[in-house]
Amino acid sequence: MEKIGRFGDFGGQYVPETVMNAVSELQEAYERYRNDPQFLAELRELYRNYAFRPSLMYYARKMTEDLGGAKIYIKREDMNHTGSHKINNALGQVLLAKYMGKKRIIAETGAGQHGVATATICAYFDMECEVYMGREDMERQALNVYRMELLGAKVTGVDSGTATLKDAINEAMRDWATNIETTFYCIGSVMGPHPYPTMVRDFQKIIGEEAKAQLMEKEGKLPDCVVACVGGGSNAMGIFYDFIPDKSVRLVGAEAAGRGIDTDQHAATISRGEKGIFHGMKSVFLQNEEGQIAPVFSISAGLDYPGIGPEHAYLHETGRADYVAITDEEAVQAFEYLSKTEGIIPAVESAHAVAAARKIAPTMRPDQILLINLSGRGDKDVQQIARYRGVNIDG
């Protein structure tokens, strides 16, 4: 019998019995609606008129000329409403919650991006919204806390563990199990117990579907290489998915090497992680010698997760996708590079993909195409990059 929600050996549903009821209900609902014509029509209409899809396909002429290799295209997820790919998934899940008759949405957030996207859609749908956020992250991302409150959400601080993202996820799971009647848990990436990794990927795969059609129209062919940054892995799965059967397309994920993968301050899960079970899934995680989840570090709060979605673990194990590690310094240089060459300030997460592309493009031929997924815009990061560079912007 084929096991449910598996990518090879990865994925699955490793949750306590108390959470299993909620997971089973969600699984049933997703099976029921994932191919429902009315659900899909409503989602498409929200993509178009609320998120402003399709996102643009941009030819990066100056970058192409400067790097002197492949022709570079950029998929502009930074142009979506709320400024990143996160809205695609939040729209899908909150719409599903509505179909399930749920009145209350909970979410976890690290940097605040997924919390803001979820709070945005809850405002639009008149849903009650509570976002769990590590106390440490609340202090680092005070502006996003206020933004969520402005959108009508309640932000609840989490003090357990390291008071960061992984602890916020634990707290949201507990809430979900307790309030299953009323509550839908909107997870922010391709992680957690089945059906989340599949469902979140399905809500993000629009990125790759659009990109393929757009490149077909502009170039009449597939890209030779697709690059995306990887935290939990949702924007990368979103742009990769439609290209997986196209074996000529190389897929590259860029993970966060922080201060270097030979230090203990990084979030390079594929480079340095091991198989394990955490947050309801079997996947690859950064762990210490006792198998406990290790602390992570990256200049980019959105890539600061000690694991990776199970489908990425599978793509890596089977060799279908490659993963490279990009340091903070390389990401900051790419952040500055894209700003100066193309006049596009990328999210510092997305800058990891740009950094990987800067290394790969010159090794490719001019008749080849390299596609970068620009997962988000960088306004949120400008202050932090200035601080990193020692520029005083506080007046």
Judged by the rule CB under 6 A, the positions of this chain that interact with ligand PLP are: 84, 86, 113, 189, 229-236, 302-303, 347, 349-350, 375-376
Q: Least CB distance from residue 267 to ligand PLP, whole Å?
A: 10
Peptide bond into 362 cis (omega under 30): no
CA dihedral sign of residues 263, 264, 266, 269: positive
- Looking at beta carbons only, is 230 or 364 nearer to ligand PLP? 230
Contacts 24+ apart (CB under 8 A), 53-59: 53/80, 53/88, 53/206, 53/210, 54/210, 54/214, 55/79, 55/80, 55/207, 55/210, 57/210, 57/211, 57/214, 57/215, 57/218, 58/344, 59/218
Sheet containing strand 274-278, edge to edge, reads: 6-7, 10-11, 281-285, 274-278
Which residue has tokens 């956020």? 133
| CB neighbour list of residue 282: distance below 8 Å, 6 or more residues apart | 9, 10, 11, 12, 14, 275, 276, 310
CB closer to ligand PLP out of 145 and 180: 145
Closest CB to ligand PLP among residues 46, 200 = 200
User: Among all residues, which ones are annotated catalytic?
Assistant: 86, 108, 375
Of 133 and 347, the one with the shorter C-beta distance to ligand PLP is 347
C-alpha distances (whole Å) from 219 to each of 206, 216, 228, 348 are 19, 5, 21, 29
Quote the CA–CA distance of 127 and 185 in Å, as a whole number.
Answer: 13
**Minimum distance, C-beta of residue 362 to ligand PLP, in the bound complex (Å):** 24
Pick left, alpha or beta for residue 107 (phi over 0 → left; psi -120 to 50 → alpha; otherwise beta): beta
Task: Tell the smallest beta-carbon distance from residue 251 to ligand PLP (Å).
Answer: 14
Residue 103 C-beta: closest distance to ligand PLP, Å: 26
Q: How far is the CB of 56 from ligand PLP (least distance, A)?
A: 16
- Which single residue brings its beta carbon nearest to ligand PLP? 376
By beta-carbon proximity to ligand PLP, the closer residue of 306 and 364 is 306
